[in-house]
Amino acid sequence: MLMFRSSLHSNNAIPDEYRKIAKNLFTPEGAETKGPGPKAALEFAGSLGIGADYQRFLNVNKDAGREMDELLEHFRNNLDLLIQKTWVEKTDEARKERLIDDVPDFVTRIKQGNYQQALEEFGVILDELAYLFFGTQSTREDFAEYTFRIDAQMGLFWCYGSQLGNLKEMYKDSDLNDESLWALLLLGICYLTNF
């Protein structure tokens, strides 16, 4: 997985405004709560181009049923389509199929409210998705720079994805409450739903 924290500070391809937004999401300064704060998450969502959708779903009761089920169904369908439409070498077909099989369990974890486990699984899903999209380039240290050159929002998204695996190192489990975990999950869900 890309070591975002080190590349965040030394990478000249990442514009300063995006560097600050990403840093604030994962290491908010002066936050009242430990872990990613809602203001930083909203700013990050706006930079990804999903601010309105993100804010709408952030305020939806996750147990409300229909609206959340529709979001997760759209997410699942779009992610499945992205995975299936990705061209890979024959040697990577099994990897692609495993990823397709992992998505329903991930969605189930969200519906169960198990956000900690869902977030850990999402980090793995995004690593695999990056590999399917970009091949071995996704495992290189300059992956953030590479994706920012393609598109700034896409680069910011992959920086986000690279950090999900580092959350346990950054925060104690008690620092990440369900609200913070859901806010982080929803960023990726909204982005991939609209990708």
Write down the pLDDT at residue 39: 84
The total number of structural domains that make up the chain: 1
Q: Is residue 195 a contact partner of residue 82, using CB atoms and an 8 Å limit?
A: yes
- Which residue range is the domain that position 17 belongs to? 4-193
Query: Residue 78's pLDDT band (boundaries 50, 70, 90)?
Result: very high
Write down the pLDDT at residue 37: 72
pLDDT digits (tens, 9 = 90+) for 87-142: 888 888 899 999 999 999 999 999 999 998 999 999 999 999 999 999 999 999 88
* DSSP letter for each residue of 101-125: HHHHHHHHHHHHT-HHHHHHHHHHH
Report how far Cα 50 is from the mean position of its chain's Cα atoms.
Answer: 13
